[in-house]
Amino acid sequence: MSESLLPKNIAELKAYSSAKSEKLTGTTWLNANESPYAKEFQLRLDNLNRYPEPQPENVINAYCNYAKLNAEQVLMTRGADEGIELLMRTYCESGKDSIALFSPTYGMYKVSADTQNIAINELSQSLLLEANVSEICDCVGDAKLVFVCNPNNPTGSLTPVSKIAALAKSLAGKAIVVVDEAYIEFCPEQSAVSLLQDFDNVAVLRTLSKAFALAGLRTGFLLANANLLAAVRKVIAPYPVSTAVAMIAEQALSSDAVTQMRRQVSILNGNKARLETLLNESPKVSQVLSGEGNFVTLQLRNKDDIDAAMQQGTIMRPFTLYGDDNWLRISIGNEQELEQVRLWLEQPE
C-alpha cells in the first residue's frame, strides 16, 4: 500500500552507500577517510531543557576567525551534506532545474538531486581539469548549481582556484559554483574562500569530519556572501545545531585546537607520502592516483587481494572507477594502521 504513495523519483532512488553502511568487521579501519586521532571534550549538560541557539554565536565567531570571514558569510550545518541539501532546496525548483557535477566525484550530490527531483548534468573530471572555461560553461548548460569537489573525492585531483574564479565569472547571474572543500585542510593554500570577496555566486562547503577529527559530530559549514546565504537561512531547520554539538565545535575551533589539527595534518601528509611510496613499489598495484586529501586511490592488478586484506582485519574502500571494479581507496591512518597496509602489500601472491 505505502509503495503506491511514493513519488517516482524516490521509488527509483539509489541511496548513497556510505563506508559505514556496510556491516563489516575488522581491526584497522581505513575505509571512511576518518582521522585516526581521537580527542576529549568537556560537556555541560544542565541546560538541555532549553532550545539551542539556531546558529551558535561562539562557534560562528570561532569559524570566522579560522576562515577569515565575517559572521554573515558563515552558516553552521549538520555536516557538509546538509549544506549540499540546503543549496538544492533553496536554489533549485523540483522537476524543472538541474545541477552539474564532474564524475567520478562525491556521491551525495547525485543522491540529493535525485531525492528532490532535480535533473543531473553529469560531466567528467577530465573535462573540468583539461578543458578551457568556455567549453566547460557550454557543457554546464542551464545548471543552477555547479559542484566542484576540491580536492576531489575519490581521485584527489585539484582544480586551480584561478579556474574556479574564471568559472564563477563566466556563470555570473546563471549559476552558483559550489566548491566542496571537505579535504582542504590537507592543502589549505588551494582554498577558494578568497573568492568570496569578489564573487556573489560562489559557495564553499566545509566540514569538521576530516582534518578536525570529528566525523562523529556531524558538523559542517556553508560559506558564501551574505545575500546568497540569506535565502538559505529561510530554508534551514529552526534548530539545526544541538547544544552538545555546539559546545564541542567551539572547543575544536579554539586557537590551540586549530594548532593541534595542523600538526596532525602534517603528520598525516607525511604518512601519506610513505604510503604512496609503498604502493608505487608494490607488485599488487597497477596504478596510483596522485592528489590531495587524507586518502590514496589505487588500482589493483587482482581484485581478490581486497579479500585478503579484509581477512586480516584491514578494512579499506573498494569501488568501481572508470568502468573497472578493482579500485581501492585507502584512508591515511597512523603509523600502526599503515603498518597493517604494508603487511598486506607484502603478502605473497
Q: What is the pLDDT of residues 198-240, one digit of tens each?
A: 999 999 999 999 999 999 999 999 999 999 999 999 999 999 9
Instruction: Provide the number of structural domains found in the chain.
Output: 2
The DSSP code sequence of 79-145 is HHHHHHHHHHHHH--TTT-EEEEEES--THHHHHHHHTT-EEEEEEHHHHHHS-HHHHHHHHTT-SE
How far apart CA 60 and CA 191 sit, in angstroms, is: 19
Domain boundary among 198, 232, 254: 254
Residues 16 and 64 reside in one and the same domain: no
293 in a domain, yes or no? yes
pLDDT in tens, 302-323: 999 999 999 889 999 998 999 9
Average pLDDT, the chain: 94
279 in a domain, yes or no? yes
- Residue pointed to by grid coordinates 586518502: 295
Residues 311 and 207 reside in one and the same domain: no
Residues 110 and 133 reside in one and the same domain: yes
Residues 177 and 283 reside in one and the same domain: no
CATH of the domain at 104: 3.40.640.10
Residues 288 and 224 reside in one and the same domain: no
**DSSP β-ladder status, 202-207 and 220-224:** antiparallel
- Residue pointed to by grid coordinates 532545474: 97
42 in a domain, yes or no? no
pLDDT band at 44; cut points 50, 70, 90:
confident
16/61: higher pLDDT? 61
Residues 192 and 103 reside in one and the same domain: yes
How far apart CA 312 and CA 74 sit, in angstroms, is: 44
Residues 136 and 124 reside in one and the same domain: yes
Residues 211 and 82 reside in one and the same domain: yes
The DSSP code sequence of 320-344 is EETTEEEEEEEE---HHHHHHHHHH
pLDDT recorded at residue 58? 98
Q: What percent of the chain has pLDDT over 90?
A: 88
Domain boundary among 254, 277, 306: 254
CATH of the domain at 7: 3.90.1150.10
Residue 291's domain spans which residues? Answer: 2-36+257-345
131 in a domain, yes or no? yes
Query: To which H or E segment does residue 263 belong?
Result: helix 255-281
pLDDT band at 184; cut points 50, 70, 90:
very high
Positive or negative: CA dihedral 147, 150, 155, 160: positive
47 in a domain, yes or no? no
Residues 287 and 228 reside in one and the same domain: no
Residues 133 and 7 reside in one and the same domain: no
**pTM of the prediction?**
0.94
Domain boundary among 216, 234, 254: 254
Of 52, 62, 139, 59, the C-alpha closest to 103 is: 139
